[in-house]
Amino acid sequence: MSQIMDKTYEHERAAHKTFKLRIIYNKKGCLSSGHCLLSDPYDFKLDDEFKAILVDSKEGEGLQKGVFFKDIETTEPHLIMNAAKTCTPKVIAVIDLETGKRIAP
Ligand code: SF4
């Protein structure tokens, strides 16, 4: 998996475009490494067991129990994209809500 930043989002960041993104986080696979909050301390913090919490998110129901969803508007998409890319078990995904495409990891 390439760790190189998507240049589209780097360029748009410079133009201060506001991105509408959906963050999807599967807490069941978290390995407690803490990389996500180093990359994006606005959206992640750790709970008492050192598992990541997606701040102000909603938990899914039924089969999606343990999966957390959060929609954000940001001019700094690289923060959450880096969090998703540096997460070793890849339990964080980022969707661009305008294009419908997964942009990280
Ligand atoms: S980077 Fe991934 S494995 Fe590490 S604390 Fe964050 S969600 Fe958990």
* Residue ranges around ligand 1 (CB below 6 Å): 30-36, 52, 87-89, 91-92
- Give domain limits for the chain: 7-104
What pLDDT, in 10s, does the model give residues 1-29?
Answer: 444 556 767 656 566 789 999 999 999 99
Gap between the Cα atoms of 10 and 52, Å rounded:
26
pLDDT for position 2: 46
First to last CA, the chain: 8
Gap between the Cα atoms of 60 and 39, Å rounded:
24
What is the pTM for the complete model shown?
0.89
Q: Closest ligand 1 atom, CA of 90? A: 2
Tell me the one-letter amino acid at 44.
Answer: F
Distance 80 CA to ligand 1 centre (A): 12
Nearest CA to ligand 1 atom 6: 36
Cβ(65)–Cβ(26) below 8 Å:
no
What pLDDT, in 10s, does the model give residues 57-74?
Answer: 999 999 999 999 999 999
Q: Closest ligand 1 atom, CA of 32? A: 5
> pLDDT at residue 92 above 70?
yes
pLDDT for position 11: 57
Q: Which two tokens stand for residue 104?
A: 């990280």
User: What's the topology of domain 7-104?
Assistant: Alpha-Beta Plaits (3.30.70)
